[in-house]
Amino acid sequence: MAIEKNVLSLFNGDSHVAELDTSKLIITLAKNLKPVTEDVQFGETKTDHMLVINYEPETGWSAPEIKPYGPISLDPASSCFQYCPNVFEGMKAYLGPNGEARLFRPKKNMERLARSAERVALPPFDTEALLILIKRLVTIDARWIPARPGHSLYIRPTIIGTRSALGVAASDSAMMYVIMTPTGPYFKTDAKGISLLAVGSTVRSWPGGTGGHKLGLNYAPGFLPQRIAAKQGYSQILWLLGDDHKITEAGAMNFFVVVQRDDGDLDIITPPLDGTILPGLTRLSCLALLDAHTAHRTVLPNLPPTLRLHTHERPLTMPELAAWSAEGKLLEAFGVGTAVAVAPVGRIGWEGKDLVLPSENRGLGDVGRALLDRILDIQTGKVAWEDWSETCDV
């Protein structure tokens, strides 16, 4: 795209600007380590260290620094406070069979972070170098990776604009930092199925907008609708778009349904990546595993090898879901994402009524459970699948 080329040229015009350089890494270890706790809530407890790198237009990227976790200092006029050029990623580290730290498809995270930064005109960076630095940080704080099943170390790479001027313009200065937090199951009280309130009066994203990128500004507009949904007894929002009530995402998750076909096969449908949907790594992985099962390249846990799973990335509407439910064909609905992996949907509130799914009482169905079990096994290195699981050796 012409816009993307113009954005890159803004930063690449000066050959003297420093690239992100892993050989310049400075490590300052914490003198007093925090106690590792077993009872963790998502995002509450932080590890001992963080990675920080700054970008200035005259000099480029500074020497990366791993240092004790703590506050950062920013000018009150910084762009990140005024105009929200803030992007982030969500990824996890897992303990492998021999106690080694593992990452799940981290190159995909780095690619998406670079696309998100480009979308809000933040400085470009070497994705391979950043991944090396993240692996080093994980190795230093590896004692924080929980050994309990269903637990992991959540990693949050972040880039914020730090231009200290109020003029409405792209930020030519930036801070990149990475923090980490041990975490357990995201939905602790909804193992039998989360509840969704289908909402179309406000939207999470729109055609031509920024819904396809992981930007901080995409999340704040959903907080008020989420609070209203909670008061009505629903866990999350199912975001709808347009007069036909087209489904986009469930909370901050990609959305899937499993529909029984007349020939005995199953259709697994998820909305397409049309710019309103975040291209989730778990979403991508689920589609690949489902296709591999049908192609007999693998057999998903507890599913018949002969069962054909037909994946579809196409528009999906609430009237369709209601019709399938009335016919007894809507077998499963689930949300997928880094934080939740695969989470069952139990009921959906729409137009004053609840559409109740089988998972309201039993939790994940056969397809959702098969995906969850296989993905967790790949993430922890119990099952080798292509190059999806990487150790943190650098």
Closest by Cα among 83, 197, 64 to 132: 64
The pLDDT of residue 1 is 40
Greatest alpha-carbon span in the chain:
65
**What's the rounded Cα separation, in Å, for the pair 214 and 191?**
27
* Domains detected in the chain: 2-183 (3.30.470.10), 194-389 (3.20.10.10)
**What's the rounded Cα separation, in Å, for the pair 270 and 247?**
9
Given pLDDT bands bounded at 50, 70 and 90, which one contains residue 49? very high
3-state secondary structure of 94: strand
Q: Is the pLDDT of residue 18 over 90?
A: no
pLDDT per residue as tens digits for the range 134-149: 999 999 999 999 998 8
The pLDDT of residue 306 is 96
| Alpha-carbon distances of 206 from 202, 203, 217, 247, 284, rounded to whole Å | 10, 7, 13, 12, 21
HSE (side-chain half, CA atoms, 13 Å) at 217:
21
| Mean pLDDT in residue range 147-174 | 95
| Alpha-carbon distances of 201 from 72, 241, 266, 379, rounded to whole Å | 38, 8, 32, 38
Q: Which amino acid, one-letter code, is at 247?
A: I
Quote the tokens at residue 174. Answer: 């930036």
| Alpha-carbon distances of 23 from 28, 67, 106, 335, rounded to whole Å | 15, 16, 21, 40
- Count of beta carbons in the 10 Å neighbourhood of residue 109: 24
pLDDT per residue as tens digits for the range 197-211: 999 998 889 999 999
| DSSP codes, 146-186 | --STT-EEEEEEEEEE--B--SSS--S-EEEEEEEEEE--S
pLDDT per residue as tens digits for the range 253-286: 999 999 999 999 999 999 999 999 999 999 999 9
The predicted model scores a pTM of 0.94
